[in-house]
Structure 1
Amino acid sequence: MVEVLESCFVVPSDETPKGRLWLSNFNQVAPRGFSGHVNFYNKTEATSFFSIEVVKASLAKALVLYYPLAGRCIVGSDGRIELECNAEGCFFVRAQLERTFDSINFQPSQELEELFIPSVQTLHSYCS
């Protein structure tokens, strides 16, 4: 069983530019959806193998330089998709499995990845 130990938003560690960025014409017609990334690590015997706080602090520093990744997609008044740079951050989840990947014949797959990527409900309003 997978146990979620923590979920939070990691925000940029310093001030970032605010405002909206237009997306390309390609992005206007591309399928929309949640873009997630999942990393799996085997636990080692070393107690200093992996500091989750270092990972989150590093992500927070990276989001200063790559600040659009900490924003949100919105639909502008003209109907175009725009990126609102608002420093709301990236969703971060830490989970554990009390078995080794070898013991469960672990094979990465799209189905498994979808278990770790949270579903996002989108509301659309067509009222003026």
Structure 2
Amino acid sequence: MKVVVRESTMVRPGEETPTTTLWNSSLDLIAVNTHAITVYFYGPNDATNFFDTKVMKDALSRALVSFYPLAGRFKQDEDGRVEIDCQGQGVLFLEAESDGIIDDLGDFAPTSESLKLIPVVDYSLGLGSYPLLNLQVLQISKFLLLKTVMYEEFFPKTGKNIYKNE
């Protein structure tokens, strides 16, 4: 299955949001940092704007006004504590397409094929370099696939990133 990204956009909050820094909780600070991966499938309906990414981006922009920390970035304070820097930098929105079909994914277990559906995040560039939320909308054959990669922490003793061979 080949996935081709047609457009990559940074969607910012639609209105001015608070410019502030938010501390992470003590539990967040001891957790392993990674993004949580979720995948949603939607079959086409009769609406003419079913796959209208402009409508999706506008809705996301409005939602980010209330959920403005998601449009921020991580940073470290002078003592090294990780915080959310709320400057309205935005959320990554990718529009992609594939010539594959849903059946190519089998039972949806994590495989090399299903990994092609996940937006790639380069953690090597540092803590403040990547958005807390990445969205990729993929038109796959006759189905729409909405994938999110949202920053989440997993505790070392209870969670494991199933998409890495560790």
Identity %: 34
RMSD over aligned Cα atoms: 2.4
Q: Following superposition of structure 1 onto structure 2, how do residues 1-128 of structure 1 map, counting pairs within 5 Å?
A: 1-43=2-44, 47-102=48-103, 104-111=104-111, 112-113=114-115, 115-120=117-122, 121-123=124-126
Pair 1:37–1:89, CA change in 2 (3 A): farther
Q: Decide which structure has greater strand share.
A: 2
Q: Displacement, 1:98?
A: 2.0
Distance 1:58 1:74 in 2: 27
Higher mean Cα deviation, 2-11 or 66-75? Answer: 2-11
Distance 1:25 1:114 in 2: 34
Distance 1:105 1:114 in 2: 10
Q: Which structure would you say has the larger Rg? A: 1
How many residues were matched structurally? 123
* TM-score (normalised: structure 2): 0.64
Q: Displacement, 1:92?
A: 1.0
**Larger RCO, structure (CA 8 Å, separation 6 or more):** 1
Distance 2:44 2:95 in 1: 13
Alpha-carbon deviations, 1:51-79, whole Å to 9, x = none? 11111100000000000000001111111
